[in-house]
Amino acid sequence: MSLYAAYAGNLDARLMSRRAPHSPLRATGWLNGWRLTFGGEHMGWEGALPTIVEDPVSQVFVALYDIAPMDEDQLDHWVGVGLDVYRRTRVRAHTLDGEEQAWAYVLNAYEGGLPSARHLGEIADAAESAGAPHDYVLELRKRPC
């Protein structure tokens, strides 16, 4: 099993149960030194896409999943790895049990652009369902779109 740090729509456990049905949620935590942002507006989707970028004074709430080998390709397909939309990067997640090495998806595009209101709402709902702190969810809901 490999550990995946979900930070946007994949924070929603119901969604993940369809995308990676053999991969249980292990914990929630934070990526310290990373910031949630958006980019790839030119890629033809409804607004910019979520991604994370390094930022020493920020943090991103994540859900950590033990990804079963049989689910890895399917999850890569869902996020567009084969289409060169996203790629994997190594991250360190901080949980109540300590630090965990994991991987997360980052966008293969420049930062910039605004997400659609619908997409941003889905991300905020997913964060709330995963147990993100109220102020984190509120900040998501207040973001420009």
Q: Per-residue pLDDT tens for 28-71?
A: 999 999 999 999 988 766 899 999 999 999 999 999 999 999 99
Q: Which domains does the chain have, with CATH numbers?
A: 2-142 (3.10.490.10)
* More confident call, 43 vs 81: 81
Angle (nearest 5°) at CA 43 between 52 and 86: 40
pLDDT of amino acid 43: 77
Single out the residue of 123, 82, 89, 92 nearest to residue 105, CA to CA.
Answer: 89
Cα separation, 31 vs 34, whole angstroms: 6
Burial class from Cβ neighbours inside 10 Å (0-12, 13-18, 19+) for residue 76 reads middle
Half-sphere exposure for 95 (CA within 13 Å, toward CB): 19
Across residues 120-124, what is the average pLDDT?
Answer: 96
